[in-house]
């Protein structure tokens, strides 16, 4: 009975008739190979940011305490200043990784460089 009344008061957070897409076969960028590269790059960038952020925690704790423990690392909360700096660092990393995908790429390769003509 308690579960029933709780369900009635909880806001609806999903559509029970939702049908998930076939995300493993969906094509978003017009070429499945580019989609696969984007997926891999997104995963790598996310993992890299996790490592970079964890390093920032280590550096902050060492600077403040001289020695650190696992518990200190796991419970660390950045200051507002650190949070803002880390966010800027994360955004810079995202731009570095993903901005090349925004290039128009409207010049064919053989027109963009001096490609020697093949004799065959």
Model confidence pLDDT, tens digit, residues 44-66: 999 999 999 999 999 999 999 99
In-domain check, residue 10? no
Q: Is residue 29 part of a domain?
A: no
Q: Is residue 91 part of a domain?
A: yes
Residue 66 covered by a domain: yes
Nearest Cα neighbor of 90 from 40, 50, 63, 62 is: 50
Structurally, the chain folds into a number of domains equal to: 1
**33 in a domain, yes or no?**
no
| Contact by Cβ (8 Å): 92, 45 | no
Considering the chain, what is the average pLDDT of its residues? 79
The pLDDT tens digits of the residues spanning 16-42 come to 776 666 666 667 777 778 888 888 888
- 106 part of a folded domain: no
Which residue range is the domain that position 65 belongs to?
49-100
27 domain-assigned: no
For residue 75, being part of any structural domain is answered with: yes
Characterize 95-115 residue by residue with b for buried, 16 or more Cβ atoms within 10 angstroms of its Cβ, and e for exposed. eeeeeeeeeeeeeeeeeeeee
94-118 mean pLDDT: 73
């Amino acid at each position: 009975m308690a579960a029933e009344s709780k369900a009635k008061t909880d806001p609806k957070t999903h559509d029970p008739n939702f049908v998930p897409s076939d995300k493993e076969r969906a094509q978003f960028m017009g070429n499945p190979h580019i989609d696969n590269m984007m997926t891999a790059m997104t995963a790598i960038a996310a993992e890299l940011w996790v490592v970079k952020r964890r390093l920032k925690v280590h550096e902050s704790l060492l600077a403040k305490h001289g020695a650190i423990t696992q518990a200190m690392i796991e419970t660390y909360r950045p200051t507002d200043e650190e949070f803002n700096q880390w966010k800027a660092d994360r955004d810079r990393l995202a731009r570095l990784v993903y901005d090349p995908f925004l290039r128009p790429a409207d010049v064919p390769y053989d027109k963009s460089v001096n490609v020697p003509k093949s004799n065959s």
